[in-house]
Amino acid sequence: MSPLADLAPFAAGLLVLVGGTVALARVAGVGIGWTPLWALARAALQLTVVALLLRGILTVEWTVVAFVALMTATASWTASGRLRELWHGRRAAVAGVVSGAAAALVLIFALQLVDLEVRYVVATAGIVIGNSMSAATLTGRNFLRAARQRRDEIEGWLALGATPSEAHLEIGQEAVRESLLPNLDQTRSTGLVTLPGAFVGALFGGAGPAEAARFQLVVLAGIALAMTVCGVLVARLLGRTPYLTASPDRG
């Protein structure tokens, strides 16, 4: 059977899944429109490009540095767009993503928890960078929502002589905590409720269950560190704003 013949039923199956998602969201009034379809189409395009790039990267090892830089830049750009409403939100997102991912990856390979091979570098970096991006986005959005809801409280602290950082400290801490909880819940349930992608991917790649489990544990620990560093940095940078965040009803 030709590759195109194999691709047709696969594409049809994906369309059924995403079509069901769109239809259910529309009936339920969730209001996401065709976003699931466009997101999947974008993912398909990006994965195709990545697959082609990885062929070259696995052959010429030094190109992995450029590939990791590309992943970091893309993640930073995506997160910065989500935080553009906040004071210096773009800068905070970039700083958070880069710092969080760098801290985790440097420690993982410096401690030799994962072999410094191209395939492991690409796999580990992709997972860690992606979760740093999520941490930046979630922290920023939680910070914005809380700052709007607690505007009067912040204004009161500032009136009493508190610095912007002091006035926003509790809000920032709450924003980071809320951004970390989903990942921590997933970590607690790993193995019993969920089988994460790193574990399954390692098994499919030919690793034994014990080796796959070790790799997954390293990934989980790296994700936790990256997200914490990213979230704390983003919250602290956003908390320096000299302005009060406008509430939706105040324009």
pTM score, whole prediction:
0.79
Helices (H), 160-196: 164-167, 169-189
Q: Which residue has the tokens 């990856």?
A: 105
Tokens of 33: 């429109």
The domain locations on the chain are 1-59, 61-250
**Mean of the pLDDT values across residues 76-100?**
93
Give 73-79's long-range contacts (Cβ < 8 A, gap of 24+).
75/101, 75/129, 75/130, 75/132, 75/133, 76/133, 78/133, 78/137, 79/133, 79/136, 79/137, 79/140
Distance of CA 214 to the CA centre of its chain: 22
Which amino acid, residue 178?
E
Most confident among 48-52, 63-67, 88-92, 180-184 (mean pLDDT): 88-92
Q: Give the pLDDT confidence of 147-198 residue by residue, as tens digits.
A: 999 999 999 999 999 999 999 999 999 999 999 998 888 888 776 655 566 6
DSSP bridge partners of 190: 194
Backbone angles phi, psi at 146, to 5 degrees: -70, -40
Distance of CA 27 to the CA centre of its chain: 29
**What is the average pLDDT score of the chain?**
86
Q: If pLDDT is split at 50, 70 and 90, which confidence band does 30 have?
A: confident
Backbone angles phi, psi at 194, to 5 degrees: -130, 150
Tell me if 166 sits within 8 A of 157, measured CB to CB.
Answer: yes
Q: Would the pLDDT of 251 be above 50?
A: no
